[in-house]
């Protein structure tokens, strides 16, 4: 991959260079010391991936991400020395289209290859995404739904641009919303609890992490909270699982949507929001085939029109709607 580094700290730049060097197929094509320089350099030579710092002079990483994704979009991973201190900035950058976040590799701390491993794993996942090597047709057995649920369920999947989109959608649902909501957002488990708290501050509904073994709860938003997949079981409860291990998306939206199609017997709506790649498209199609309403976000309102586009291409969405029209449609479906 052709990789760019945006960071004003020479030690951090050197740490990133050393980490990238462990994979000879990757090449650092340019380095920028601040967000403004990165916007300019990206217009001249758009890389496959930008490793973007958050706190910089002149222009920070959030604003640089916004401008780059608007003018010369490419994959962006936020790299920071203190993820917990910058959690709200991270979600803001992800709202503009950043795909993920990772710690800056530490120089001189233990085995340097081990220190580089988390970053290299993120880069590998991004390489798969932008190469669309996951475009295989999924083979799923014909679902047999058990008669255990009677309440309504909204199953939502999102990735790049998702935090901001979820904020808008949840703001549009009243505190009296009668259905359960389960969210699968591509975010590292380190940030899941902070994201649930952040979304709760914007929503009239309670938002928390889904617990293993509990059922979806009416009037409550549950967020997948680990790097394992989340799925609905035949008994109606939610469970975290490492399988399938070959999924590059963790947690996978497809895995959750497919389980809903298989085992949810009440009313349900599948919603696929902004994101890079194809995760969720096949699962959404399976939900449609089982008679559920399926909605994909439209191109104009998507920060990254990848996953919704993939759903539209295979006719997985019954409706394609602007982001601001999705919550009113959900209220209509569930009698609000």
DSSP letters spanning 125-143: HHHHHHHTTT-PPP--PPP
186 is annotated as an active-site residue: yes
Beta bridge partners of 221: 181, 207
Q: Tell me which of 26, 186, 228, 229 is the catalytic residue.
A: 186
Q: Is 315 noted as a catalytic residue in this protein?
A: no
Active-site choice (100, 127, 159, 252): 159
Backbone angles phi, psi at 73, to 5 degrees: -60, 140
Q: In this structure, is the dihedral angle defined by the CA atoms of residues 107, 109, 113 and 115, taken in order, positive or negative?
A: negative
Edge-to-edge strand ranges of the sheet holding 207-209: 207-209, 221-223, 180-185, 153-158, 268-272, 293-297, 319-321
Q: The tokens of 299 are what?
A: 């191109």
- In degrees and rounded to multiples of 5, residue 101 shows phi and psi of -140, 145
Q: Known catalytic residue: 159?
A: yes
- Which residue is catalytic, options 100, 127, 279, 298? 279
Phi, psi of 286, rounded to the nearest 5 degrees:
-65, -40
The token pair at 291 is 């008679």
Active-site residues: which are they?
159, 186, 279
């Amino acid at each position: 991959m052709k990789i760019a580094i945006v960071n004003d700290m020479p030690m951090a730049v050197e740490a990133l260079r050393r980490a990238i060097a462990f994979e000879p197929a990757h090449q650092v094509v340019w380095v920028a010391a601040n967000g403004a320089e990165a916007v300019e350099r990206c217009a001249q030579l758009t890389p496959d991936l930008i490793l973007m710092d958050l706190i910089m002079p002149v222009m920070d990483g959030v604003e640089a991400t916004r401008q780059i994704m608007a003018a010369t979009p490419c994959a962006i991973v936020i790299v920071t020395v203190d993820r917990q201190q910058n959690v709200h900035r991270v979600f803001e950058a992800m709202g503009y289209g950043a795909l993920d976040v990772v710690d800056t590799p530490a120089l001189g701390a233990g085995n340097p290859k081990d220190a580089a491993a988390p970053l290299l794993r993120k880069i590998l996942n991004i390489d798969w995404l932008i190469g669309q090597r996951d475009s295989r047709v999924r083979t799923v057995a014909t679902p047999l739904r058990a008669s255990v649920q009677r309440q309504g369920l909204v199953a939502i999947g999102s990735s790049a641009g998702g935090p901001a989109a979820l904020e808008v959608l949840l703001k549009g649902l009243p505190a009296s919303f009668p259905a359960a909501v389960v969210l699968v957002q591509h975010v590292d488990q380190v940030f899941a609890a902070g994201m649930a708290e952040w979304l709760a501050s914007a929503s009239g509904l309670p938002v928390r992490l889904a617990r293993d073994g509990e059922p979806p709860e009416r009037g409550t938003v549950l967020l997948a909270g680990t790097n394992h997949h989340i799925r609905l079981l035949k008994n109606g409860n939610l469970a975290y699982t490492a399988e399938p291990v070959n999924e590059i998306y963790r947690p996978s939206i497809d895995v959750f949507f497919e389980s809903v199609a298989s085992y949810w017997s009440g009313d349900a709506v599948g919603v696929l929001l902004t994101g890079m790649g194809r995760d969720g498209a096949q699962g959404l199609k399976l939900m449609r085939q089982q008679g559920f309403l399926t909605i994909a976000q439209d191109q104009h309102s998507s920060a990254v029109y990848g996953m919704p586009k993939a759903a539209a291409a295979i006719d997985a969405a019954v409706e394609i709607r602007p982001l601001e029209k999705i919550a009113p449609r959900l209220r209509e479906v569930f009698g609000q």
